[in-house]
Structure 1
Amino acid sequence: AESVYTIAEFIRRQRGGAAVVMGALSPRTRNAQVGLYQSGEVDFLVATDAIGMGLNMDVGHVAFAASRKFDGNRNRDLTPAELAQIAGRAGRHMNDGTFGVTGDATPLDGDVVQQIENHRFDPLKRLQWRSTSLDYSSLANLNRCLAQSPDMPGFTKARAAGDVLALETLARDDAIAAMATSPQAIIRLWQVCQIPDYRNITSNDHASLLGSVFKFLMSDSAVIPADWLQQQLDYADKTEGDIDTLATRIAHIRTWTFVANRSGWLDNADIWRENTRAIEERLSDALHERLTQRFIDRRTSVLMRRLREKDDLMAEINTAGEILVEGEFVGRLDGFHFIPDDHAGGAQAKALRAASLKATAEKIAEKADEFVKSTDEQISIDTAGRISWQDQVIARLQAGTSILKPDIDIFAGQQLSGEKRECVRKRLADFVAAQIEKHLEPLVNLSTATDIEGLGRGIAFRLCEGLGVLKRDEVADDIKLLDQNLRKQLRKYGVRFGAFHIFCPVLLKPAAAKWT
């Protein structure tokens, strides 16, 4: 399971997610996971060799991450026939499928590849066999029959299965052996031993549970007590917990679903069958939800799928400035700048950016058109030179060719470019020029005056550079040389000569002070 989880999490980070199929999943959970793949919600499915049986899917390629398995007894290589059974999931109807290896898997031998492609395998030389002619006259005779070897060529004795191991363990229990003395009791014990070990616990623990069931069936009531069975169901009937916890509970309840379907083992068996089925369905749905939460990033998956399906993605901006592409949050607009979702990282962030690039560019262009049509009253500037529109900072003043002709730094990414960007820049330039003309009129007039001569022009330039305020001691020598005519020229443009400063009083008013 851990290797399946590792691969699924990697695919989630890289491509939005994967469905997961393992033998430990209930049929309901397994079918729900396959449904995610079949519906196109995810493009990948990570599975154990359980994928080789009972599932009909539209698979294009099977990639083996390993070619060895633990078969319950030992680790071994998958046979060519087993590999073919799994590889055969690829291809459907008239569409050919492909197969290969991925991850750390060893490349398949050329001979094995040919066998899979041609579907020609070495013939089976032996079949496993277990006697079906059982003697229930005593436990010893039953065990002897089950241990019997075949006397026919081409057959070999089957490895002891779980039911045989359980019988051997219970037969060594004196209390159980004392009850199993008649053929009817031995038949009942053998039936109990055939309860599957869905939980894959130790053989002794499983045998202990089977022993309890057998003792109940051999009691005077000859059925499993309702209160005891309810305790077993209550243990499993909880939908909180992680993936492994839920899978364990499903295995537990499947044991009791099997028991509930045995004739004569329970009073009101129909009700118990309904209860165990309902619990298994709830647990299966919860497990499907946990698998989906852990291994599928629905947002990235949805965006990437729809990006493949069509060129144009639907985008909208809500009142909070959040951008939704096909209903999925991808980021927000700060002015004309797109800020991707900061919770996405790595490949996920790249996927979101790819999916949202065109859609957000269109929305930014629409916003640029709206800004170009806005009035000066809808635009503002603060004392730090930041220009705002619709409560968002969209640009900032920076040093230009002169103090009265600042440059403008537009806060926008590459999605605002070309003609749209130039229109925004021109609108900002017009706004700044109008504000300077309105609030810094004395400086504008000083900078363009043609009737100020000599030292007066130098003083005017220094005043403009100081935004209307100049320390007198910095130009003391020049002031001494100013005659009354030059002083008169400067006063005409609103300049005043104070004891410590030369200044323009109009620029000390609040509206103008913001610009100085």
Structure 2
Amino acid sequence: MPATFPSMAQRIPAQPRKSAHTGVVKAVLGPTNTGKTHLAIERLCAHSSGAIGFPLRLLAREVYDRVCAIKGADNVALITGEERIEPKGARWHLCTVEAMPSRPDLAFVALDEAQLSADPERGHVFTDRLMHTRGREETMLLGSSTLEPMVKALVPEAEVVTRPRFSTLTHVGAKKLSRIPPRSAIVAFSAEQVYVMAEMLRRFRGGAAVVMGALSPQTRNAQVAMYQAGEVDYLVATDAIGMGLNLDVHHVAFAGLSKFDGHRQRRLTTAEMAQIAGRAGRHQRDGTFGALAGMGGHDPEFTPEEIYAIEEHRFAPLTRLFWREAEPRFDSIATLIEDLESPPPRPELATPPQAIDLAVLKRLAEDVDIASGVRGQRSVQRFWDVCRLPDFRQQGYETHSRFVARLWQDLRHGYLGADYVAQAIAQLDNPSGDIDTLQARIAAIRSWAYIAQRPDWVLAKDEMSARARAVEARLSDALHARLTERFVNRRTAVLMRKAGADAGLLPVRLGDEGAVLVDDEPIGHLEGFRFVVDPLARAEDRKLLLAAAERHLPGLLASRANVLVAAAGEPDGIEFEDTALVWQDTVVARIERGRHMLSPRIKPDLALDRLAPGCKAEVLAALDGWFAAQHKRHLAPILALDEASRDPASGPELRALLLHLVESGGVLPREQSGLDRLDPAQRDRLRKLGVRIGSLDLFLPAALRPAAMQAWHRLARIWSRPLPLPPESMQPVVHAKIAPAGYRRLGNECLRVDLAEKLLHAAHRTRLGTKARRVFLDPAVARSMNLSTAAYAALLRAGGFRVHMGRALPERAFGPPQPPLWDWRPSRATTASDAPPPPRPPIGAFAALADLVGR
């Protein structure tokens, strides 16, 4: 026997449909923006229990959050087709109309947007709630004034209360999209038209939020929140905007006045127009509405009669409401269909067009394999519950009926397995894809959310419902991100919102790393003191961005100049790159020739001309001070030589030598110096200036420090003296064909002059420490400096030493070869450029390398 289960209606005690009620029934009618829903919430909270039925899950969720803040979440329930939050003992219920509990114990019951009883698709549900759902103490029917005749006919005991609109609604004519004012809603009637309008607003005004019925409630909430927060100033929506969304809209523009209602393309009724236009204006702030011009010959136009009706809230009253038997018999499928298609019992009621649930029921009843297995009241009722699964995918009853048939095959014999439901949900848990793909997945997951929250369909109801809601939330977040990415240009939106046409109104500030921001949205950056527009900015924005920058740059540059002045007070606040002064990776000045080599000038970068004169003078003074400090710090010994070279007391010979030393960076070959022309007093003065007189070179040890050599080389560059740049660390040995400043060339190697002098002094100490005329000079110290044996031999020869190669071993003699010996003959001192001695048979590695250097 197939397992059967009680229906939702059987599990909740039904209220007698013909019983009398002692409670008060009020019909609160009026146009939009009359505070009807707010009044219902107040009355709900004033009673000990109650329920309100809303036309949209979105509205039920919004009011649920408000009532939870008042009554506490443990006392409030949210009941919709896809979501059920029912704390034990909850006394206040916020529901969609289809999910409203029919309970006589509720003290208060309200029905929102009751005029939807005339809706062809869902009207029969609203009609049933209007006629039969009552609160024990108070019932409130909320809706349009057009509903008043039907209320008086069907609910004669109701007290009708008419509420006026808080603000006026005025027609302002047609406007082009580029002329639509901020805080406007543009209403279109197809997804394609919504996308076109949103894309155009992205180009013209920085973007728009998008609201469509196909979006999930969470996505709609996120889009509306973006609009409400002012991130965008425009909203593009379908007619879904007209149903209870509370928005800060000043103007509503209609991109069309006709729509496809599922059967045909028709013009909107004036009541539908007013429902949408009524979104403009909130509380006591007036609103406007109009058509959208520039639609290529298809401009919508309101007729004078429609304008009058909307502005004065005068509409033709409803003359009938749709009705369908709410408690059909479940003896058989045929009996069920017969009751659902039965004529209404009163002349004020009309048979609705065939709803999709009835269409699916009839379609599956034609399938013998399915219909033959539906026997008995409980089975028929369960089958009807499955057929009433909403078509969230909006694919038509044929496609939807196949999904329902597959679902029934799994449900007819029991519950849906948790693994099966979990797998179906997991297949949809994929937040990648474009807008249409994500919308399709959200529609599918809403179907599974509806299925999972049925305790008589799914065993692990709570777990599966939570999974479905989590997937829907992730997909909704992804869809919101795609919509924002496609239809919102945040930079342009900020510009237009803050400035309009006046760039001076833009609140510009300087962010980290020189970014120029408007409301934390980057519009460009400062490279030093030059403003560069963001390369991603649209061409239309560039003029406005530049104008905004020009208006605000003086203040930004002044603050930036203060930072530069402070940095100039620190030794490492500014850096050198070749001859440029660099601050925060930006060249702020360069050094150029002055009166002589050691007196360069500072040439500011042209971008500093943007500073105010006084501010620029402070920056230049700071840069001059920083450079002077660096100049004195690194070149103090050479500056002392330069000063002595201008002192007449030094004598012409010493002054000439000092000038050569200064021009060569404190290092001068001895044979070119004119040292032999100095008298003892001048030599003594030279030593007091820190100059060391070496065997091969005159040099300033302090000038051989890396920073000092780099500073001198920088000056040599601006005087067009192209010398190889010395290594930053001034390591002992470098390999170069031309010796850098401070080095002596020895073959293919260059040795720092102070170390060369050190090696020669060591050789002389060895020579003087023995009485032999010829001595062995160990190259170990040279090799510790990374100097090759051949280069060491070249240094010794340059210092006046002469090598004597050892004799070859006699035939059949064994042992190490005799090492080369050196003697010193100053009268015949040679230099590295002298010709090598006559070749001899190489004896040992030292002699072979010496021979190579000579070549």
Same fold, judged at TM 0.5 (above): yes
Out of 439, 459, 466, which is 1:247 matched to? 439
| Equivalent position of 2:289 in the other structure | 99
Which residue identity lines up with residue 336 of structure 2 in the other structure? Answer: L
Cα offset, 1:420, TM superposition: 7.3
Out of 109, 118, 125, which is 2:319 matched to? 125
- Greater per-residue helix proportion: 1
| Equivalent position of 1:276 in the other structure | 468
Out of 235, 241, 255, which is 2:427 matched to? 235
Q: Deviations over 1:318-365 (max 9, x none)?
A: 44x443444332213345432201111133435544554433342235
Q: Deviations over 1:132-164 (max 9, x none)?
A: 352322222222233334464344321111101
Where 2:372 maps in the other structure, the secondary structure is helix
Which residue identity lines up with residue 316 of structure 2 in the other structure? Answer: D
Out of 539, 556, 562, which is 1:346 matched to? 539
Aligned mates of 1:63, 1:157 — CA distance in 2: 35
Aligned mates of 2:612, 2:484 — CA distance in 1: 43
Which residue identity lines up with residue 38 of structure 1 in the other structure? Answer: Q
Contact 1:371–1:424 under 8 Å retained in 2: no
Which residue identity lines up with residue 293 of structure 1 in the other structure? Answer: E
Where 2:447 maps in the other structure, the secondary structure is helix
Which residue identity lines up with residue 247 of structure 2 in the other structure? Answer: M
Residues 305 and 142 of structure 1, relative CA distance in 2, 3 Å threshold: same
Aligned mates of 1:208, 1:233 — CA distance in 2: 19
Quick check: 17-26 or 254-263, which moved more?
Answer: 254-263
Aligned mates of 2:614, 2:213 — CA distance in 1: 57
TM-score by length of 2: 0.44
Say whether residues 1:226 and 2:418 are aligned partners: yes
Cα offset, 1:266, TM superposition: 1.4
Out of 264, 267, 270, which is 2:459 matched to? 267
Aligned mates of 2:506, 2:515 — CA distance in 1: 19
Aligned mates of 1:365, 1:184 — CA distance in 2: 83
Contact 1:61–1:90 under 8 Å retained in 2: yes
| Equivalent position of 2:181 in the other structure | none
| Equivalent position of 1:257 in the other structure | 449
Where 1:201 maps in the other structure, the secondary structure is coil
| Equivalent position of 2:351 in the other structure | 157
| Equivalent position of 1:2 in the other structure | 192
| Equivalent position of 2:386 in the other structure | 192
Which residue identity lines up with residue 446 of structure 2 in the other structure? Answer: R
Say whether residues 1:360 and 2:360 are aligned partners: no
Where 2:475 maps in the other structure, the secondary structure is helix
| Equivalent position of 2:215 in the other structure | 25
Residues 243 and 350 of structure 1, relative CA distance in 2, 3 Å threshold: farther
Which residue identity lines up with residue 290 of structure 1 in the other structure? Answer: R
Where 1:179 maps in the other structure, the secondary structure is coil
Quick check: 275-284 or 126-135, which moved more?
Answer: 126-135
Residues 324 and 265 of structure 1, relative CA distance in 2, 3 Å threshold: same
Where 2:301 maps in the other structure, the secondary structure is coil
| Equivalent position of 1:85 in the other structure | 275
| Equivalent position of 2:236 in the other structure | 46
Aligned mates of 2:529, 2:542 — CA distance in 1: 20
Contact 2:557–2:611 under 8 Å retained in 1: no
Out of 310, 315, 331, which is 2:524 matched to? 331
Which residue identity lines up with residue 41 of structure 1 in the other structure? Answer: E
Q: Deviations over 1:381-408 (max 9, x none)?
A: 999xxx9764656799xxxxxxxxxxx9
Where 1:264 maps in the other structure, the secondary structure is coil
Q: Deviations over 1:37-83 (max 9, x none)?
A: 11222211111110111211221111111211121222211111011
Contact 1:250–1:284 under 8 Å retained in 2: yes
Say whether residues 1:511 and 2:704 are aligned partners: no
Contact 1:325–1:356 under 8 Å retained in 2: no
| Equivalent position of 2:65 in the other structure | none
Residues 389 and 161 of structure 1, relative CA distance in 2, 3 Å threshold: same
Aligned mates of 1:36, 1:353 — CA distance in 2: 28
Where 1:140 maps in the other structure, the secondary structure is helix
Contact 1:372–1:423 under 8 Å retained in 2: no
Aligned mates of 2:717, 2:448 — CA distance in 1: 83
Cα offset, 1:417, TM superposition: 8.1
Which residue identity lines up with residue 459 of structure 2 in the other structure? Answer: D
Aligned mates of 1:168, 1:45 — CA distance in 2: 41
| Equivalent position of 1:434 in the other structure | none
Contact 2:494–2:518 under 8 Å retained in 1: no
Residues 185 and 118 of structure 1, relative CA distance in 2, 3 Å threshold: same
Q: Deviations over 1:158-216 (max 9, x none)?
A: 11111011011111111111111322221111111100010112422211111122222
Contact 1:304–1:351 under 8 Å retained in 2: no
| Equivalent position of 2:370 in the other structure | 176
Quick check: 159-168 or 2-11, which moved more?
Answer: 2-11
Contact 2:441–2:475 under 8 Å retained in 1: yes
Contact 2:421–2:464 under 8 Å retained in 1: no
Residues 371 and 206 of structure 1, relative CA distance in 2, 3 Å threshold: closer
Where 2:244 maps in the other structure, the secondary structure is coil
Aligned mates of 1:510, 1:412 — CA distance in 2: 24
| Equivalent position of 1:139 in the other structure | 333
Which residue identity lines up with residue 521 of structure 2 in the other structure? Answer: E
Q: Percent identity?
A: 43
Contact 1:315–1:360 under 8 Å retained in 2: no
Which residue identity lines up with residue 328 of structure 1 in the other structure? Answer: E
Aligned mates of 2:562, 2:546 — CA distance in 1: 23
Quick check: 322-331 or 99-108, which moved more?
Answer: 322-331
Aligned mates of 2:418, 2:620 — CA distance in 1: 83
Out of 194, 202, 213, which is 1:12 matched to? 202
Contact 1:410–1:425 under 8 Å retained in 2: no
Contact 1:368–1:420 under 8 Å retained in 2: no
Which residue identity lines up with residue 216 of structure 2 in the other structure? Answer: S
| Equivalent position of 2:361 in the other structure | 167
| Equivalent position of 2:676 in the other structure | none
Residues 367 and 120 of structure 1, relative CA distance in 2, 3 Å threshold: same
Quick check: 287-296 or 364-373, which moved more?
Answer: 364-373
Aligned mates of 2:419, 2:564 — CA distance in 1: 73
Aligned mates of 2:361, 2:254 — CA distance in 1: 38
For the pair shown, which has the larger CA radius of gyration, 1 or 2? 2
Residues 366 and 201 of structure 1, relative CA distance in 2, 3 Å threshold: same
Cα offset, 1:424, TM superposition: 11
Residues 489-504 of structure 1: pairs in structure 2 closer than 5 A: none
Where 2:316 maps in the other structure, the secondary structure is coil
Aligned mates of 2:258, 2:543 — CA distance in 1: 35
Contact 1:13–1:348 under 8 Å retained in 2: no
Which residue identity lines up with residue 525 of structure 2 in the other structure? Answer: R
Where 1:20 maps in the other structure, the secondary structure is strand
Aligned mates of 2:230, 2:511 — CA distance in 1: 27
Cα offset, 1:278, TM superposition: 1.7
Aligned mates of 1:123, 1:326 — CA distance in 2: 50
Where 2:440 maps in the other structure, the secondary structure is helix
Aligned mates of 1:49, 1:177 — CA distance in 2: 39
Cα offset, 1:245, TM superposition: 1.4
Q: Deviations over 1:91-129 (max 9, x none)?
A: 112111111122424121121111111110122333333
| Equivalent position of 1:445 in the other structure | none
Contact 2:387–2:404 under 8 Å retained in 1: yes
Aligned mates of 2:204, 2:498 — CA distance in 1: 17
Q: Deviations over 1:468-513 (max 9, x none)?
A: xxxxxxxxxxxxxxxxxxxxxxxxxxxxxxxxxxxxxxxxx86344
Say whether residues 1:64 and 2:254 are aligned partners: yes
Aligned mates of 1:379, 1:225 — CA distance in 2: 71
Residues 264 and 73 of structure 1, relative CA distance in 2, 3 Å threshold: same
Residues 6 and 312 of structure 1, relative CA distance in 2, 3 Å threshold: closer
